[in-house]
Amino acid sequence: MTTAAFESLTRVGLTLPVVSRIRAEKQADDLAYVFLRDGETPEQTLTYGQLDAAARSRAAALDAAGIGGTAVLIYPSGLEFVKALLGCMYAGISAAPVQAPTRLRSLQRVRRIADDAGTSTILTTSALRRELLESFGDQPELAGLTLLDTELMEGYPADDWAGQPADADDIALLQYTSGSTGNPKGVQVTHANFRSNVAETVALWPGRSDGTIVSWLPLFHDMGLMFGVVMPLWAGVPAYLMTPQAFIRRPARWLEAISRFRGTHAAAPSFAYELCVRAAAKDGISPDLDLSSWRVAVNGAEPVRWGTVLAFTEAYDAVGFRPEAMCPGYGLAENTLKLSGTPEDRVPTVLRLDGEALAQGRVARLGDERPGGVHLVGCGITVGTSQVSIIDPATGVTCPPDRVGEIWINGPCVARGYHGRPAESAETFGAQIAGEEDRGTWLRTGDLGFLHEGEVFVAGRLKDVVIHQGRNYYPQDIELSAERSDPALHPNCAVAFAVDDGKTERVVLLVEAGGLALRNGGAESLRARVRDAVLDGQRLTVDEILLVRRGSLPKTTSGKVQRREARRRYLEGEFGPRWS
């Protein structure tokens, strides 16, 4: 589908179920989704006709059972999630996808989400329902919840569904945030939000008739949901899906799938590209790998690292990956997903800035004669009617072009608010620019950044900035220096934050370290390397470096470190055992 044709369809008020019906009528036998077993072998396939029939079967069964309102979706990666999600949309049920719980802590999060969403209905698969009951059947968190197996709804007559298409203003999804403070919030995403966001995404990164999407991202997460489920269906291009575990165990599987199935679009956080670089250095690159079909490599994590962009481009240049294919972008669940992105066929923009000025909130580029500096990667431009303003978070006044401020968003992709949280919704979604109230309400992202020649640059999180001795430090810069202090340390293995007990202020750095990183001189030697790397990179002396075991740091469902949660656990003495 061309961009022009797609945009003309969005203007008539389509929703995802309506698009599914159109695809089923016009392209019934065309391939829609493929699930790759072990990230390699096609195991399950769905045509548009099969998908629509399966979704309507589930909608009819849910309607017959009297299920309405909201349902929590707990699914492993696979095509049953796609069928259930679309079935909920057909049935007018707001879906709340969550990660399958494996520990009591994650089960408690599921229960908090169900209570917050006001539902007792859990939709899942046969196998996962059995696992949940076997593992947690005696836990109070499951009391009162009804676990429904949607696979059993497969044979329900699809034509029994006689409901009306969802209205564009209906809530299609409750996208729960990572809950870094232990209190996840459900972002109310409407069908119109989906329509607007995917229209902007396809306008920025056109699918075209030869488009193919390859994704390992978790489908319950906003980025995985948009690029793995919603965008393929709207754009009419097939999607090849694999589990996150298949990618993490062997990152080359993702690239091999792109090569084998001629993938044109694939999205991932920055750490995924770094893992691919490390895999290439460790195992080499197969001469059979061909990435020449890859037109749009969305890099959407916070932050997008220039070193990773360069390293990935250089590592895979010989097998057809083009520098123009790397497309850094920026988005968040409160804006459905994407806000901005680098257009295809344009190399990413990078600015080399004065670190001292940036610490003071000023944007000052370094001339070629001055070494060093901080490299910030541009996250592209907006398309459609979405708008960005850079605002002083303390005064609400628009910042001048050379100042860092909070990123505010206005447009059709901004979600309705947080479910059941009117005060927080008003604070986050109802902001107004001082002196410019006629421009309506804005979404406060909580991210700091600036605009340069119309492009969005993200500097860090407002609440995560480390203030030490009157200077501002962005924690991701400290963490990156720590990670690069030893080649055996992994991406996203560090978290930095400040602690102020009223008498003194200290900068604390937690670093996950395994045996390989410790073998060269032990724990104290590793601490010294980390401390020297941060001192050299940020001119900051870290007061405490705590080495913790691999897997100890709290992270979001997309793999980002949760700084505030890590700080809370540190203050409460929860980390341990520690390396001595």
pLDDT in tens, 358-367: 988 999 999 8
Distance CA 399, CA 410 (A): 16
Query: 14: buried, middle or exposed (CB in 10 Å: 19+, 13-18, 0-12)?
Result: buried
Cβ atoms within 10 Å of 551's Cβ, excluding its own: 9
**With 60 as the cut, is the pLDDT of residue 560 above it?**
yes
User: How does pLDDT run across 454-508, given as a tens digit for each residue?
Assistant: 999 999 888 888 877 767 888 888 988 998 888 888 888 899 988 876 666 788 9
* pLDDT band, very low/low/confident/very high, at 561 (cuts 50, 70, 90): confident
Task: Return phi, psi of residue 340, to 5°.
Answer: -140, 160
Strand ranges across the sheet with 171-176:
146-149, 121-124, 70-74, 94-98, 171-176, 186-190
Distance CA 329, CA 343 (A): 9
Helix (H) or strand (E) holding 146: strand 146-149
pLDDT in the model for residue 396 = 97
The stretch 372-381 carries a mean pLDDT of: 92
The stretch 528-554 carries a mean pLDDT of: 89
Query: Structural domain boundaries of the chain?
Result: 3-249, 350-462, 465-571
- Do 3-249 and 465-571 have matching folds? no
- CATH 2.70.98.10 is right for the domain spanning 3-249: no
pLDDT in the model for residue 375 = 92
The answer to whether the beta carbons of residues 404 and 360 sit under 8 Å apart is no
The stretch 149-174 carries a mean pLDDT of: 90
- The class level of CATH for 350-462 reads mainly beta
* pLDDT band, very low/low/confident/very high, at 156 (cuts 50, 70, 90): very high
The answer to whether the beta carbons of residues 46 and 240 sit under 8 Å apart is no
- The class level of CATH for 465-571 reads alpha beta
**With 50 as the cut, is the pLDDT of residue 1 above it?**
no
The answer to whether the beta carbons of residues 548 and 513 sit under 8 Å apart is yes
Q: Tokens representing 100?
A: 């399958």
pTM (2 decimals)? 0.88
Q: Tokens representing 262?
A: 């001629």
**With 80 as the cut, is the pLDDT of residue 263 above it?**
yes
* pLDDT band, very low/low/confident/very high, at 10 (cuts 50, 70, 90): low
